Amino acid sequence: MNRLLAALVVAAPYAFSAQAQTPPSAETQPPLTLSRALDLAGASAPALEAASAGLRAAEAARTIAGLRPNPTINIEAENVAGTGPYSGTQSMEATTSLQLPIELGGKRSARVAVADAQRDRAGIERAIAQADLRFAVTRAYAEAAASERRLVNAREQFRIANEGLRAADVRVRAGRASPLEVQRADVTRINAAAALERSERSAEVARFTLSQRIGQTILAPLDGSWFNSVDSRYGPLRPPDAAGTLSLAAANADLATATAQMRLARAQRVPDLTLGAGARRLEETNDTAAVFSLSVPLPFFNSGKAALEQAGAEQLRAEAQKRVTAQDVAQAIAEAQADAANAATSAATATGPALEAAEEAARIARIGYREGKFSQLDLLDAERVLSETRATAIDALLAYHNAQAQLERLTARAPDQGDNR
């Protein structure tokens, strides 16, 4: 018997029975599935609202970038309120003119290119917010499901501890055991009660966290079949491909923005012209004359060279950051693939025969203890192995779902640029 229990201790981390674990509350209601939780979260997530607002702002900025400079109306009055013949308005010369800025060097198209790149970046930010929300909700859902499984396990252990206390009391009253067994069984019951209380708090916090993510109180049970499901079809690891991922798309958008900023910096070095045309009225003779003007700024103090150097440095930084991102994403995907495959193996093994053996050993130990064939220590050891097997299996399933969510987040595909327009 001791050898069997020792073997079960070794096999404990790889076993779990899905049938023995069911959500503890609201069993009559249809379960809240992960898909439904994701839909609820998407309808109320502040992060998505912020990202959508950022995209709308970028679209408005694109419209602004394509606008031409506004014309200006100038009204001037000369030879007014002076002395001698210039007192009053009899010698006034009033000039009304319209001035129109003329942008040169392709500034408008360069601004539009920058705005387009920033709008694409805002669209990627929205996709990143969606992927991050899905990742957070999936992890919160998995943690809540795991906490409910732990609560079920704690309730079962508390029930078994109470039965063990009653069995010990019967044996002591019948004179077949020492009163020490009652004390030992009572300690086990007290510890099981404390563990149950901790599990109840953890389950409550986990459900509250999930409810905060989806924006409503959770009354229905969670989908136990989803938590039990494990994809055991993992084969050799695939070569990681960072192309098309959100992280690399963001780096590409940053490079495109920096390149457009470089073009804009070059265009801004070309001085703009301001053309003016108007009419001047001479009060003294009541005559009118046309007035034309041309203004050209002189780039003596700010030629735009420093801005061009800054834009060039930003472009080089964006190019280097893109290469760094490609390396980091490929490495992260490779590690996530390995983690997900290992977690799938552990979680799939957790439903194997080890748990069946642990459950059978605990059942035999309970019967044998009541009949006086096994000692109380044998019973406690069998119950401990069974409890640890179930708890370790819950952790294995939770690790699998977390690893799978991490892999999905890293490999989430970037939207087409046309989707942001």
Judge whether 67 and 45 are in contact, CB under 8 Å: no
Indicate whether 222 pLDDT > 80.
yes
Tell me what percent of the residues of the chain surpass a pLDDT of 70. Answer: 87
User: How does residue 127 score in pLDDT terms, banded at 50, 70 and 90?
Assistant: very high
- pLDDT value, residue 6: 39
Asked if residue 50 belongs to a domain, the reply is yes
Tell me the per-residue pLDDT of 284-317, one tens digit each, with 9 for 90 and over. Answer: 778 888 889 899 988 888 888 999 999 999 999 9
User: How does residue 418 score in pLDDT terms, banded at 50, 70 and 90?
Assistant: low
- pLDDT value, residue 325: 94
Judge whether 191 and 15 are in contact, CB under 8 Å: no
Indicate whether 19 pLDDT > 50.
no
Mean pLDDT of the chain: 84
- pLDDT value, residue 175: 76
For 106-173, give the DSSP string: SHHHHHHHHHHHHHHHHHHHHHHHHHHHHHHHHHHHHHHHHHHHHHHHHHHHHHHHHHHHHHHHHHHH
- pLDDT value, residue 401: 93
- pLDDT value, residue 135: 95
Asked if residue 267 belongs to a domain, the reply is no
- For 29, the domain range is 2-68+108-140+192-250+329-420
Asked if residue 153 belongs to a domain, the reply is no
| Sign of the dihedral through C-alpha 406, 407, 410, 411 | negative
- pLDDT value, residue 376: 67
- pLDDT value, residue 236: 62
User: Which CATH number do you get for residue 211?
Assistant: 1.20.1600.10
The pTM assigned to this predicted structure is: 0.78
What's the average model confidence in pLDDT over 259-286? 89
Judge whether 189 and 157 are in contact, CB under 8 Å: no
Asked if residue 260 belongs to a domain, the reply is no
What's the average model confidence in pLDDT over 254-265? 95
Q: Which residues contact 360 (CB under 8 A, 6 or more apart)?
A: none
| Sign of the dihedral through C-alpha 10, 147, 149, 366 | positive
Q: Which residues contact 298 (CB under 8 A, 6 or more apart)?
A: 271
Angle at 105 between CA 99 and CA 106, to 5 degrees: 95
Nearest to 188 by CA among 209, 163, 214, 213: 163
Cα separations in angstroms, 377 against 171, 194, 195, 342, 383: 14, 21, 20, 35, 10
What torsion do the CA atoms of 411, 134, 406, 321 make, to the nearest 10 degrees? 50
Tell me the per-residue pLDDT of 224-259, one tens digit each, with 9 for 90 and over. Answer: 889 988 876 665 667 777 888 999 999 999 999 999
In angstroms, the CA 29 to CA 248 distance is 43
Asked if residue 20 belongs to a domain, the reply is yes
Tell me the per-residue pLDDT of 321-370, one tens digit each, with 9 for 90 and over. Answer: 999 999 999 999 999 989 888 888 888 777 666 667 777 887 887 788 67
In angstroms, the CA 221 to CA 374 distance is 39
Least confident of 306-310, 347-351, 375-379, 381-385: 375-379
- pLDDT value, residue 319: 96
Three-state DSSP state, 223: coil
Asked if residue 376 belongs to a domain, the reply is yes
Indicate whether 11 pLDDT > 50.
no
Q: How far is CA 243 from the centre of its chain?
A: 20
Check residues 135 and 372 and name the one with the higher pLDDT.
Answer: 135
How many domains, in total, are found in the chain? 1
Cα separations in angstroms, 117 against 20, 204, 252: 54, 45, 10
- pLDDT value, residue 10: 35
Amino acid at 200: E
Tell me the per-residue pLDDT of 189-213, one tens digit each, with 9 for 90 and over. Answer: 899 899 999 999 999 999 999 999 9
Judge whether 230 and 397 are in contact, CB under 8 Å: yes
Top-ranked range on mean pLDDT: pick from 43-47, 131-135, 219-223, 229-233: 131-135
What's the average model confidence in pLDDT over 117-123? 95
Q: Which two tokens stand for residue 154?
A: 């704690």
Indicate whether 144 pLDDT > 90.
yes
In angstroms, the CA 400 to CA 351 distance is 13
Asked if residue 293 belongs to a domain, the reply is no
Tell me the per-residue pLDDT of 36-65, one tens digit each, with 9 for 90 and over. Answer: 999 998 888 899 999 999 999 999 999 999
Asked if residue 297 belongs to a domain, the reply is no
Check residues 352 and 401 and name the one with the higher pLDDT.
Answer: 401
